[in-house]
Amino acid sequence: MKKEQEGALSGYRVLDITDSNGAYCTKLLADLGADVIKIEPPEGDPGRRIPPFAGDTPHPEKSLHFLHRNANKRGVTLRLDTMEGSNILKRLVTTADVLVDNSPPDYMEKLGLDYSVLSEINPGLIMASITEFGHSGPYKDRKGSNLVDFAMSGIMITSGYPGKEPCLLPGSPAYDSASVHASVSIVAAIYMRGTTGQGQYIDTSVHVTSRTGLYPWIIPNYSYALNPGGPPPTSENRMGAQIYPVYPCKDGFIRIIALTPRQWDALVRVLDNPDVLQIEEWRSFMYRIGNADDLYALMLEFTTKYTMRELFEAGRREGVPIAPILNIADFYNSPQTKAREYFVEVDHPVAGKADYPSPPYKWTETPATMRRPAPCIGEHNEEVYCRELGLSTDNLASLRGGGIV
Amino acid sequence: MLPLENVIILSFGTGGVVPDAGKIFGELGADVIKIEAKDNLDFMRTIGPDINNIGQFNESNRSKRSFGVNLKTEKGRGIVSQLVKISDILAENFRGGVMKSLGFDYENVQKLNPQIIYISSQGFGSGGPYSEYQAYGPMLSAASGVLSIWAQPDDPYPVGSNAPYPDHMASKHLVIAAIAALDYRRRTGKAQFIDMAQTEVAASLAGEYYLDYTFNKRIPKPMGNRSLYAAPHGCYPCKGLDEWCTIAVFTDEEWQSFCGAMGNPAWTRDSRFSDLLGRLKNVDELDKYVGEWTSTLDTNVVMETLQASGIAAGVVQRATDTLADPQLKWDGAIIELDHAVSGKRLYPAVSFRMSGTSPLKSTPAPLLGEHTEEICHDLLKMPDDEIKQLLEEDVLYNPENAKGAGGGMFG
């Protein structure tokens, strides 16, 4: 961990009142050096109960989902639905640049903590709201979930095998789509504030951003197939491995991205020029899609002669992208991952030491790296409330006694 | 004002990542200049017969200008060097090593403009044995390990989706990094080089699975639509061909409401289903019962019935359903733009609202070389006769002399 080095967003303070569904938004900012203070209720963010756990023992400090998505942040506890709690939040707002929340519509307003109130306390405040279905509209009060939002986004119908049930993308794709969009608009607002001195309010929803952000092409794919006066085109559906075919090899599976005739020719060379693959028709991508089953039967004989790595490297040499389908451990152990030092050891006081995925980029001036483990419940209460906000230790003790922190 | 007003971004982009990032930079008000060559096109221009009439290309390349230039000529590279000198950000996702062969790697670009922020998005990232491998999103979801768990447990092998994942998530990471770097430069005067790996973006978005390996020495297996902490949690068949509705029931309270919404059929009283642990343990049977209920109903009936009882439920929507989705309509999430060649077509709108900016707008994708002349004239202050001469020499391209480029990579 490289705690001492400055990040691109060092010097900015972000108040994070999101739960596990918005945690990736503030993680992106924390990875770049922002001082992200996670604010959770005294009993802990419900996200701390998401399995699996380090060591497989359920424990609020050991949820892997929580540990990953809250690394690089500090953490305090605060009950926002009390007068004292909301007053403390307002004091924190005077020291903050950004506040992110993913509470349901109207919730912040009910607490008296909506943007109109907070921006009066701090006109430079950038407040970003992530809701499930938006602050208004016919679905505003509906219940979502990662699976449900992913289903409605339009990408799920293209995931999995034709004839079988559509398949969820692992992780939290719908929520993370909202998180990355919120984060984009937050850094844009920070940059803009450099000129205007003014904060602003940002509104994103999981429903809209997963529709527009995860697979934007499905809309033009449909729209470009519409012809005036003609019948409406069929909506895009699951195509299994037809576009990006998968074949078994000696020690696993490979995925081939052969789109152009040139890439197909390279693939034929990779497989040592079998006669049956040198028939002119196979050079056409559309022909290969139309005859995918026949091609699969033919290809088996050749791809199974090689290992994933042999095909990956031969593809590189001949000019056709071939990917090994690695499992999670294979990626961790891959020479590229090692060379880039992508996994970084982090020592958490309760969960212990382990290698974590680090931010997905290397920066020359301001490293984006692992600075600290995810906070324990209330770990930084004293640091933030007493040393930084100036509450006395007696004050803090009475807040603790009252169940406020 | 717009957040990125007066910011000039040079885009050496192809495929999904840098073009999609450029679209967002453009929506935020930057002047995004896409450097395009006639004989080495963004491959997304070549997946149909007309380079200016490709849906996916015209989606990703909205809100930017196209500068057509032959990078194989010294004069062409010289003109691009002039653009480098006046730009704030250079973003590229050409195959590893290509920018260096053109003389536009960070070392050279920095000499031309020490203040430029250079962001490179490679499939595997630079450094290491795979840094120069050509890479597409579907290859990277495979090589990152994510594809291995994007499947049903009984699938012979994982196939993921038609979508080129993680391209459209990597692009947003790139935008965040670039704007953060821009702000750092505003505050300190220091520019820098950012080297993003798309495999690492995919891994970062699924980080908890890697921790399962590093903490627990377990290699995660695909779980399909199931959850470790919710049941029922799945995608259930409804009336009609290939019609599905997803349902997620987390707590025991939600389970009670769920049973009520179904009319409390006898099987729901089975004590094995009364708490979450029991439902998780007997999930095969549970899913069978739920599927029997849903398969007699239309997707919308399942969704509406359950939502009315406070249960998370959502139809697996197709493109056409999302066009009719009343909430997306309410939010104006899909817009129509009139493109010079493709005509009026539908696209996703800007994905977020910002209260303090002028309205964020999306403009149609450019034709190849559409803005070459105006950029030479307005930004580079080149005399008209010189521009004309360079067009005649095929050093520069406008839509006229770029005609005949590309054409049907799918043969």
- pTM, whole model, 2 decimals? 0.97
Encode pLDDT of B212-245 as tens digits.
999 999 999 999 999 999 999 999 999 999 999 9
Cβ pairs bridging A and B (under 8 Å):
521
Whether a cis peptide bond, with omega within 30° of 0, leads into B232 is: yes
B302-353 pLDDT per residue, tens: 999 999 999 999 999 999 999 999 999 999 999 999 999 999 999 999 999 9
Q: Which of A219, A286, A363 sits opposite B319 (nearest CB)?
A: A219
Please, which residues 322-341 of chain B have a Cβ atom closer than 8 Å to chain A?
A: 322-323, 325-328, 330-331, 333-334
Res B404: pLDDT = 78
B273 vs B277: CA distance, rounded Å: 8
What's the average model confidence in pLDDT over A388-403? 96
CB A124 within 8 Å of CB A199: yes
The predicted structure's pLDDT at residue A228? 82
What's the pLDDT tens digit per position in B81-137?
999 999 999 999 998 889 999 999 999 999 999 999 999 999 999 989 998 888 888
Decide if B130 and A335 are in contact by the 8 Å CB cutoff: yes
Q: What is the pLDDT of residues B142-151, one digit of tens each?
A: 999 999 999 9
User: What percent of chain B lies above the pLDDT cut of 70?
Assistant: 99
- Long-range contact list for A232-236, CB < 8 A, 24+ apart? A232/B320, A235/A157, A235/B318, A235/B319, A235/B320, A235/B321, A236/A157, A236/A158, A236/B162, A236/B318, A236/B319
Q: Average pLDDT, stretch B147-167?
A: 96
* B43: contact with A, CB 8 A cutoff: yes
- Which residues face B339 on adjacent strands? B343
**A289 interfacial to chain B (CB closer than 8 Å):** no
pLDDT recorded at residue B411? 38
- Residue range A321-340: mean pLDDT, rounded: 97
Least CA distance to A165: which residue of chain B? B235
Query: Inter-chain contact A187–B317, Cβ cutoff 8 Å?
Result: no
d(CA B220, CA A326): 12
Query: For the residues of B13-55, what is the DSSP string, one character each?
Result: --SSHHHHHHHHHHHTT-EEEEEE-SSS--GGGGSSS-TT--H
Instruction: Enumerate the β-bridge partners of residue B69.
Output: B396
**For chain A, percent of residues with pLDDT exceeding 90:** 91
Q: Which residues contact B196 (CB under 8 A, 6 or more apart)?
A: A360, A361, B119, B120, B121, B122, B125, B170, B173, B174, B177
CB spacing of A362 vs B411 below 8 angstroms: no
SS3 B235: strand
